[in-house]
Amino acid sequence: MSAQPGRVRHPDGIDLVLLQGRVRPERRKAINSAAANSGRSVGLYLEDLVLYLEQNGGLPVFPKINRQAEELPIQAAS
């Protein structure tokens, strides 16, 4: 049974795996809202989103993030 009454979920008997990741609260709210407005569980919404992306050019591959340490402004000694 779906966690939210009235939402469509994956059919029973389908092989599913857990997918987790931490996101900002506003991203979570956006996904939950889109899933609810689509009448789907979050899991089914994410699966349909990936399928949609695959059918329309594929999942984007983003450039690697260079998390360089921020330089602190240190004044020269007088």
Percent of the chain clearing pLDDT 70 (strictly above)? 87
Q: Which residues share a beta bridge with 8?
A: 40
Domain boundaries, the chain: 1-60
Residue 5: per-residue pLDDT? 64
Half-sphere exposure of 8 (CA within 13 A, CB side): 10
pLDDT computed for residue 2 by the predictor? 46
How far apart are alpha carbons 55 and 77 in whole angstroms? 60
pTM of the model: 0.69
Residue located via tokens 């956006």: 30
In this prediction, residue 43 has a pLDDT band, given cuts at 50, 70 and 90, of very high
Q: How confident is the model at residue 76 (pLDDT cuts 50, 70, 90)?
A: confident
Residue recorded with tokens 């999942």: 59
